[in-house]
Each structure stands twice: as C-alpha cells, then as structure tokens.
Amino acid sequence: MKTYLVTGAAGFIGSNFVKYILDKYGDNIEVIILDALTYAGNLASIKNELELPNVTFIRGDVGDRELVQRIMRDNDVDYIVNFAAESHVDRSITNPRLFLETNILGTQNMLDCARDAWFTGKDAQGHNTYAPGKKYLQISTDEVYGSLAKDFDEPQPLELGDDVREVIEGRTDLKTYGRHFFTEETPLAPRSPYSASKTSADLITMAYHETYGLPVNITRCSNNYGPYHFPEKLIPLIIKNILEGKKLPVYGKGENVRDWLYVEDHCKGIDLVLRQGTVGEVYNIGGFNEESNINIVKQVIAIIARIMREEPEYQQLLKCSVDDINDGLIEFVTDRPGHDMRYAIDPSKIARELGWYPETPFTVGIEKTIRWNLDHQPWVNSVTSGDYQRYYEEMYGNR
C-alpha cells in the first residue's frame, strides 16, 4: 500500500488529484492531506473524500517544519505531491512577499523534511541513499518559461512527429498560434513575482536532487480548467458573471493565448510521472488546446446561451434575461503589467516516454466544465460568499 502526502489538496488541482487517485486505487492507498486553507482552499471540494477511512486531513502550512517532520515521522510516506502554492498572478503583483514565503521557503521545507525522513545512509561512493519507492513531486507551471511569440492571428494546423502522433490517437483538432513551444529544455525566464517564485521552487527542487540525491520529479502544466475551480480565474469567473448578467472583464484586446488542459487529464499525467517517471526528470504536461482569451470568453457565452434556450430548467439560475447573454457583455479592461502573450507546451516527452496525452478536446472539456458549474451552484455560491471558510470550523473546529 502506498501512502501519499498531498499538500494543497483543498485547492483546485489538488482536490481533483485526490479524487482521481482515490477513484483509481480505492482503499489500496492512504492519503494524507496537508493544507493551510488560505483563500483558495476549500474543504467542501473534498467533502466526500474526507469521510473515507484512508484519508486524513491536517490543517497546516508547508513551511511549518515541526509539523511536516511529525507527519513524516508518524507515517511511512511514499509520495509527496506538492501542490501547495500561491498561484494567482494578479495577487502576486500586489503582495509578492507572500508568494516568496509559500512557494519558495515552503517548498524548501518540504524537501528538507523528505530528505530527513527517507535518508538511509551512504553507498560505497559516499552518495546518499534513500528508502526504496520514495519520490517527491513538485507541481509547477509553464509560466516559468516566460512568454512565446504569437506568430499567427488565426490558428494554424499543428504539425507533430510520427512518434507523438501515434500516442495521441483520437485528437484531430490540433492547432497553434505560433511556431515555437515550451519544451523541458526551454530556458527559464519568469516575468511575474508568481512565476519567479515557482521558478525558484523548481530550481531548489532540482538542487536537492543534484546535491543530496533526493528522488524528485517536476511537472510543468499549462492552464487548467474543470470542476472545483476557484472563481477568480478566467473561465469560472466568466461563467459566474454571465449567470449574474455582469460585464465580462477581458484584459487588453483578449489576444493573449493560453494552452488549456482539462484538469482530469492533468491528474492522470501527474500520477504517471509519480509512478513511472524517471527520477530527476522534468515533464511538461500540456493540453494541445491553444486558444485566445477573447475566443474563450465568446465560446463560454455561446454555450451558456444555447444551454439556457435548449434546457430552460437552467434559467432559474439566471439573474438576467437569456437574451442578454451575448457578446455585448464583454468589457475590455486595462492590461495587467507584464502580461505574457502566449503559452504553449510541447508535451512530446511525456507522450513518448509514458504514453500520456491530453484526451479531452477543449470543445468537450469546456462544456463539461460549464455544466458542472451549473449543476453545482451551492458550491460556487459558498466559495463566493466565504461560507467555505466557515465549513472548516464546523467540521474541525472542535477536534
């Protein structure tokens, strides 16, 4: 039986990962969740999982050395998956110090505690040895690579090598806005306090591998979307504002391009790297779904308008007329400082080595995401009202 220590598992991607591994492995694994429950941490996202006998929740900070050491000492942890991070670029611009403390020092503390717990001695060459089957996985982002050029105003067909084409069977909708992509060899060039803090975390992770021999991997993903997404991010914010008849803020002219990855596909990739990835390697996990922000917004508007007309039972969620759901809701706002023009990941390495590929086309994933939001309005409302923060006190305040 494998024991996972998953940090930040009350957040968006972390909660989906916990659901994925529990669904896949059931009671053949133990899951320990460590989460500080900051603004984006929501226990309601993993409410059902917390009731399972093989899941333990601990409220705490990844930077708390004594706490993490105790967790490692009291449990035979096999895998550490570090999702814990401050992750919103706009917030990093207004309060960069918080990002440095959590994303850099928190990561360093988790690495140190893993090294202490798993260390077994020295080999004949004087190199550190660790208990077998252990691994630390740092969850990172494509933003560490900086920005790519947007070479085409309209997307062009994406050309792939035969080896990758064989892996991604079923995906025929591949397109790109540029000639170049982020690979694992792309130089790191962060452009915001957030991405700089994640870059630093990646570097310290690899330093622990090179210096101490700690078994690590790093995954770098493109923009995720899907269930349980905190509604300050683009897609859930747009869905929420459409239902409320509010304007839809779009930076600049909406020309910035992102590579969108359905969160369940990402979780599958993380688990593959954790169990089969070569120690010391970095793996890019991308969606092969490049799209401009303005097109994303227009697609969400069109899908919600269609659903409301074809399935009128959903109209009870609206605070506006169905006729008001159109592109007139779009409002262009002043672009944020250092806004990267284009992100596009090349996930060929993980496709070739581990057989992973992003199974979900954006047209499928975005409708699934919208319908999830429509069907889970109590969750959305609890997050936007702050009720999710009271949920912790109700569940754990007297424990």
The residues assigned a catalytic role are: 142-143, 194
Length of the chain: 399
CB 1 within 8 A of CB 77: no
Q: How many CB atoms lie within 10 A of CB 316?
A: 7
Minimal CA–CA distance to 175: which of 156, 161, 162? 156
Helices (H), the chain: 12-25, 47-50, 65-74, 89-94, 96-100, 106-118, 162-167, 193-212, 234-244, 263-276, 293-310, 348-354, 362-375, 377-385, 387-396
The CB-side HSE value for 203 (13 A sphere, CA atoms) comes to: 14
Q: Contact 184/283 with Cβ under 8 angstroms? A: yes
Token readout for 189 is 């060039």
Measured between alpha carbons, how far apart are the two ends of the chain, in Å? 28
| 270 torsion bin: left (phi>0), alpha (psi -120 to 50), beta (else) | alpha
Burial of 120 from C-beta contacts in 10 A (0-12 / 13-18 / 19+)? exposed
DSSP 233: S
Check if the beta carbon of residue 24 is closer than 8 Å to that of residue 49: no
The neighbouring-strand residues paired with 6 are 33, 81
Find the Cα–Cα–Cα–Cα dihedral 19, 21, 26, 29, rounded to 10°.
-120
